[in-house]
Amino acid sequence: MTYLLIKAAISGLLVALASETARRFPGIGALIVSLPLVSILSMIWLWRDTQDVERLAAHSIGTIWFLAPSIPMFFTLPAMLRAGWGFWPALAASCALNIALYLLMLWIGPRFGLKL
């Protein structure tokens, strides 16, 4: 249980660091969140927990394939905000698009031999 709390605390500190930095310096905050920190942390935790080379490799490849459907969210959210949408409706619509594209990837991926 202590290990889980340590993982959560470290991960949470990174999110807090990014949001606090973005409040003062939006560009630097964007740089921090664009870094694959969550991916790197999850790989570290997965390696520490399993030391399974194949599982870690599959996790890394899966991350690449799920990156593609997440990108449109970062275009739709600012477009909706600039078009006059409120923050919460724009965020909800962007997240719904993201979820739909993830589901599409889960459906299409295996048809092309991807193990997701």
Work out the angle at residue 34's Cα, subtended by the Cα atoms of residues 32 and 35, and round it to the nearest 5 degrees.
Answer: 70
Give the count of beta carbons closer than 10 Å to the beta carbon of residue 103.
Answer: 11
Task: Evaluate whether residue 65 is within a structural domain.
Answer: yes
Question: Torsion angle, CA of 69/70/72/77, rounded to 10 degrees?
Answer: 150
Task: Evaluate whether residue 25 is within a structural domain.
Answer: no
Give the count of beta carbons closer than 10 Å to the beta carbon of residue 116.
Answer: 14
Banded model confidence at residue 103, pLDDT cuts 50, 70, 90: very high
Considering its fold, how many domains does the chain have in total? 1
Banded model confidence at residue 31, pLDDT cuts 50, 70, 90: confident
Higher pLDDT, 10 or 91: 91
User: What mean pLDDT is predicted for residues 14-30?
Assistant: 88
CA 66 to chain centre: 9
Burial class (CB within 10 angstroms; exposed 0-12, middle 13-18, buried 19+) of 14: middle
Task: Evaluate whether residue 80 is within a structural domain.
Answer: yes
Task: Evaluate whether residue 59 is within a structural domain.
Answer: yes
Task: Evaluate whether residue 9 is within a structural domain.
Answer: no
Instruction: Give the three-state DSSP class for 8.
Output: helix
Domain containing residue 94: 53-116
Mean pLDDT of all residues belonging to the chain: 91
